[in-house]
Chains A and B, each alone.
Chain A
Amino acid sequence: MSLGHYLLLGAGLFVIGLFGALTRRNVIGILMSIELMFNAANINLAACNSYLHPAGVAGMTLAIFVITVAAAEVVVGLALVLAVYRNSATAYVEDFSLLKG
C-alpha cells in the first residue's frame, strides 16, 4: 500500500460525493454526499500525515477538526432543511429557489 492508493481512494470517494451532490434531488441526499466529500478530504489528510510526516500529528488533528466541523455543519444543515420543509412541505432541492436573485 503506497500513498498513491490512499490518494486514489480519497479521489474516488470525493468524485462519488460530488456526483451525489450534483445529482441527488433530495436535500438530505445532498448533505450525505457532502459528508462523503469531507471524508475524502479526511482520508487525504490522515494518509499524508502518516506517510510524509510520521512523527507529527497535525494532519490527524486537522482531520478531527474537520469531523467536528462537519458534525456541526450537518446539524445546521438539517435544522435548515427542517425549517424549509415546514414552510414548503418539500425536500427537493430544485424547489428551493426563494433566494434567487
Chain B
Amino acid sequence: MLQHVYLIPLIPLAASLLILLGAKEDPRSPMPFLGIAATGWCLLQSIAIFYGAATGELSLPYGADWNWFSFGATAGGKPFLYDMPVGVLIDGSAAVMLVVVTLVSFLVQVYSLSYMRGDPRFKRYYAYLSFFTASMLGLVVSSNLLVTFSCWELVGFSSYLLIGFWFERPEPPYAAKKAFITTKLGDLGLYLALMLIFCQVGSFQIPQIREFVARGFMPAAVATAIGLGILCGAAGKSAQFPLFIWLPDAMEGPTPVSALIHAATMVAAGIYLVAKCYFIFAISPVAMETVAWIGAITALLAATMAVVSYDIKRVLAFSTVSQLGFMMCALGSWGFSAGLFHLTTHAAFKALLFLCAGSVIHAVHTNDMRQMGNLDKKMPITFFATLVGTFAIAGIPGFSGFFSKDMILERVFEHDPRLFVILAISACLTAFYMFRLVFMTFLGQERDLDRYLHAHESPWPMTVPLFVLMALAAFSGWLLDRGEIFTRLVNFQALPGIAPAHEAAHAPAYLTWYVTAFVFFAIYLAFRLYGGSNFREAESIKRRCAPVFNLLERRYYLDDIFLALVGLSDRAARLAFWIDSEVVDRFFVDGWGLLMLALARLCHLFDDNLIDRSVDATGGLSVSLGGTLRWIVRRGLVQEYLLWSAAVMSVLTLLTLPAQRYCLGASVGLGLLAILTLLLVRRPR
C-alpha cells in the first residue's frame, strides 16, 4: 500500500484538472462527485496507512525517491554533480496529516454539495477544492523540501482562488490579495531558509538534511538563521503574530472553504513544516524560544480579539489563530507530539465549528451574531454540533480538546512557567468567547424576527459531515491518547547528543484541574454576560472600557501598522520614482540626449554647409557643362553629333602619338577637321 502513496496527491490533481477542463459550467454538473470520489479514495488510503502505522503493521518512516534531475556545479573549485530527487516520505506526523487533510476535505466537499448548490461556478469551486487538496497532500508527503515549497505556494494560490471565489463582491478580492501578499511576506523568509539549507547541505532531501544535522555539521548560528526563516514562512501561512492579519479577512470566502483551508489544513501547514524541520530547531535554542514566544503571543492576542468580534466567522478565525499559537508554542517548548496532537484534534473540532457556522449562515444569511439568537429549537442538529465543538475547543474534560490542550499546557509549564501563564489565560479566554458565540447564536431571544422565521435545519449533505466531525471532536482525543497511541506514532526522534533542555519543574497533576476550574469560571462569566436576551451588562462593560475594546476591535492596530508600512514603502517607491524621473532621467538620460542633439546639430551644420554644398557644386558644374555642350549641338543634327565625336576622338588620338610625329599628325588632323567643319557649316538647312 505504501509503494503507491505517491498517487495520493496525484489523483486529486487529476480530478481537479478533469473537473476544470472536462466539463461545462453547470450548477447541476455531476463533476463534483468526481472530486469527492478522488478525495474519498485518498481518505481510504490514508486511513489504511494510519491504521497500519498505529497497529504497528507498517513500519514508518517510509521513503521512496525518484530521479528528477541532476545538475553540475563547482563548489570550492571542485566540480560536483548534485542530484535532485523527488519522492515521498511518510512518517508518523505525515500519516496523521494525511488523514486530517483527506478527511476534512472529503467532508467539506460533501457539505458543499448543499452549501454551494446553485452557485453559478459550482463546478469550478470543486476543481479548486480538489486542486487545494492535491497541493496540500503533496506538501505533506513530499520528501524534497523544494517540492514541499512548491506545494506550499500552490496551497497559497488555491487559498487565493477560494477566498476570492465570490469576486463579484468588493471584499473577497481584496481579502484574497491581502492573504496572498501577507503570506508571501512570510514566504520570503522561508525561501531564504531553503537557500541556506541547500548552501549548507547541498540537498533538499529531508533525510539527508537530518543526517547532516545529526552528525553535527550544521553550526548553531546557521540553524538559528534557517529556523527563523522557516518560522517566518510558518508565521505567514499559519497566521502567527504579526502576520495573522490576513486570516480574519480570509473569511470572505465560502464557509466550507474556511473550514477546510483556514481552519483545519492549510493554516496547519506552517505548524507541520516546523515539525518537519524540527531537527533544525532542535539544535538552535534561539529559534526554539522564538517559536514558543511567537506562539504564546499569538495565542493571547488572537483570543482577546475574538472576545469583541460580532462576526461569527471572525470569532472562529481569531480562535483558529489562537489555537495555532498554542500549537506553535507547544512546538517551541519541545512539545513535538503535543503540538501535532492539538493540530489533529483542532482540525476536527474547528472544521466542525466552521461547518456549523456555515449551517447557521446558510439558514439566516448573515454573519452578525447580534442578529441571531434563539436558534437552538430551529436547528437542533447544528446547535448540538456547535455545542460539542465548543466543549472540545474549550477543553471540557472528556472532549478531544481537553486532552491535547492539557498535553500542551503540561509541556509548556515544564518548559517555561511564564509561557504557561499566557497560554492558560488564552485557554480561559477561548472558553469565554466560544460560549459567548454559542449563547449569542443559539440561546436568548430572537433579535431579528425575519431571519429567525426564515431559519431552518440544513439538509442532509450538510448535517452528515457534522455528525462525523462531532464524533471525532468528542472522541478523537480520548482515542488517540489511550495507550499513548499518538505519542508513539508521532514522536520526535531526538538527535544523538542533543537532548531537550532539562526543566527544573515537573508539571504537578493538579495543574489540569486548576486550569479547568478557571475555564468553567470563564464559561459562567460568558453565561452571565451573554446568556440573557439582552447584553446590558456586557454593553455597560464595553462602554466603561471603551479604549480597550477599541484597541481590540481595531485588532491592536496591526492592520493600520501594516497599511502604514505599505504606505511607507509606497512613499519610498514614489521617492525612488522621483529620483528616477527627475534626477536620473532628467540629468543623465535627457542630458545625454541633449548633448547628442547638440553634437548632431553640429554635424548637421557641417554636413549641410560643406559636404552637401560640394556635392551640389559638382552637380551644378555638370549641369552647366551639359548646358554648354548642348548649346553646341543645339540644332539636333545627327551628323553634327558625329562630327563632334570624330573631332574629339581625333584630338585624343593625336595626343597619344609620339612627340616627333605630333606636329605632322596635328596639322593633318586639324586640316581635315577644318575641311569637315566647313563642309558642315556651309550646308544649307
Say if the beta carbon of A93 comes within 8 Å of chain B.
yes
Min CB–CB distance A97 → chain B (angstroms): 4
| Nearest B residue (CB) for A96 | B638
7 contacts between A and B (CB under 8 A): A19-B676, A21-B639, A22-B643, A22-B680, A96-B638, A97-B637, A101-B630
Contact call A22/B639, Cβ cutoff below 8 A: yes
| CB closest chain-A residue, reference B626 | A101
Among B658-685, those with CB < 8 Å from A are: 672, 676, 679-680, 685
| A17-B607 Cα distance, complex, nearest whole Å | 53
Excluding A22-B642, A94-B639, 14 further A-B contacts by CB distance (< 8 Å) are A21-B639, A21-B642, A22-B643, A22-B646, A22-B676, A22-B680, A23-B639, A23-B679, A30-B639, A93-B637, A93-B639, A94-B685, A97-B636, A97-B637
A46 contacts B by Cβ under 8 Å? no
Interface residue A48 (Cβ < 8 Å from any Cβ of B): no
A86 interface contact, C-beta 8 A = no
A100 contacts the other chain (CB 8 A) = yes
User: Nearest B residue to A21 by beta-carbon distance?
Assistant: B642
Interface residue ranges of B627-655 to A (CB < 8 Å): 630, 635-639, 642-643, 646
CA distance A61 to B69 in the complex (A): 80
Contact B679 A22 (CB under 8 A): yes
CB neighbours (8 Å) of A19 from chain B are 676
- The interface residues of chain A lying within 8 Å CB-to-CB of B680 are 22-23
| Docked complex Cα distance between A101 and B680 (Å) | 21
A18 within 8 A of B: yes
**Using a CB-CB cutoff of 8 Å, which residues 43-101 of chain A contact chain B?**
93-94, 96-97, 100-101
| Interface class of chain A by DSSP | helix
The CA of A19 and the CA of B676, in the complex, are separated in Å by: 8
Interface size on B, residues (CB 8 A): 14
Q: 9 closest pairs, A vs B, by CB?
A: A100-B636, A97-B636, A22-B639, A94-B637, A93-B638, A22-B643, A23-B679, A22-B676, A22-B642
A18 vs B642: C-alpha distance when bound (angstroms)? 9
Q: Out of A18, A93, A96, which one reaches B646, CB within 8 Å?
A: A18
- A2: min CB distance to chain B, Å: 18
Interface of B is mostly: helix
Residues of A within 8 A of B685 (CB): 94
A97 to B637, alpha carbons, bound, how many Å? 7
Number of interface residues of A (CB under 8 A): 13
Q: Give complex CA distance A4, B679 in Å.
A: 30
A41 to chain B, nearest CB (A): 14
Residue of B nearest to A94 (CB): B637
List chain B positions with a Cβ less than 8 A from chain A: 630, 635-639, 642-643, 646, 672, 676, 679-680, 685
- A10-21 Cβ-contact flags toward B at 8 Å (1 or 0): 000001001101
CA distance A100 to B646 in the complex (A): 20
Q: How far is the CB of A62 from chain B (nearest CB, A)?
A: 21
Q: How far is the CA of A21 from the CA of B643 in the complex (A)?
A: 9
* Contact residues in A for B679 (Cβ distance below 8 Å): 22-23
Q: Give the chain B neighbours of A97 by CB distance below 8 A.
A: 635-637
Q: Which residues of A have CB within 8 Å of B639?
A: 21-23, 30, 93-94
How long is the Cα–Cα vector from A31 to B680 in the complex, in angstroms?
Answer: 18
Give bound CA distance, A97 to B680, whole Å: 17
For A97, give the chain B residue with the smallest CB separation. Answer: B636
Residue of A nearest to B649 (CB): A18
Bound form: Cα–Cα A94–B636 in Å: 8
Which residues from A are CB-within-8-Å of B630? 101
B633 CB → nearest A CB, Å: 9
Contacts of B635 in A (CB 8 A): 97
CB closest chain-A residue, reference B634: A100
Chain B's closest residue to A15 (CB) is B672
B636 partner residues in chain A, CB cutoff 8 A:
97, 100
Whole-angstrom distance between the Cβ of A23 and the nearest chain B Cβ:
6
By beta carbon, the residue of chain A nearest B639 is A22
With a cutoff of 8 Å between Cβ atoms, the chain A residues found around residue B642 in the complex are 21-22
CA–CA, A44 to B34, complex, Å?
Answer: 106
Smallest CB–CB gap between B671 and chain A, Å?
12
A37 and B679 alpha carbons, distance in the complex (Å): 20
Q: Which residue of A lies closest to B679 (CB)?
A: A23
The complex places the Cα of A94 from the Cα of B339 at a distance, in Å, of: 121
In the complex, A40→B685 CA distance in Å? 31
| Cα distance A97–B643 in the bound complex, in angstroms | 16
Docked Cα-Cα span, A8 to B646, in Å, equals: 19
Contacts of B646 in A (CB 8 A): 18, 22
Shortest distance from the beta carbon of B486 to any chain A beta carbon, whole Å: 112
Which residues of chain A have C-beta atoms less than 8 A from B643's C-beta? 22
Bound together, the chains give a CA A97 to CA B306 distance in angstroms of: 112
Complex-state Cα separation, A96 to B641, whole angstroms = 13
The docked-state distance in angstroms from the alpha carbon of A100 to that of B635 is 8
The complex places the Cα of A94 from the Cα of B684 at a distance, in Å, of: 10
Determine the residue in chain B with the shortest Cβ distance to A99. B636
Q: State A4–B685 Cα separation when bound (angstroms).
A: 41
B147 smallest CB distance to A (angstroms): 86
Q: Tell me which residues across on chain B come within 8 A of A22, comparing CB atoms.
A: 639, 642-643, 646, 676, 679-680
Residues of A within 8 A of B637 (CB): 93-94, 97
Q: Which residues of A contact B638 (CB under 8 A)?
A: 93, 96
Which B residues are CB-close (under 8 A) to A93?
A: 637-639
> What B residues does A101 contact at CB under 8 A?
630
Closest-CB distance, A91 to chain B (whole angstroms) = 13
A80 to B672, CA, bound (A): 31
Chain A residue with Cβ nearest B630: A101
Question: Chain B residues with Cβ under 8 A from A21's Cβ?
Answer: 639, 642
Report the separation of the CA atoms of residues A101 and B632 in the bound assembly, to the nearest whole angstrom.
Answer: 13
Taking CB atoms, residues of chain B closer than 8 Å to A30 are 639
Provide the bound-state CA to CA distance between A21 and B630, in Å: 22
Q: Which residues of B contact A94 (CB under 8 A)?
A: 637, 639, 685
| Cβ of B219 to closest chain A Cβ, rounded Å | 97
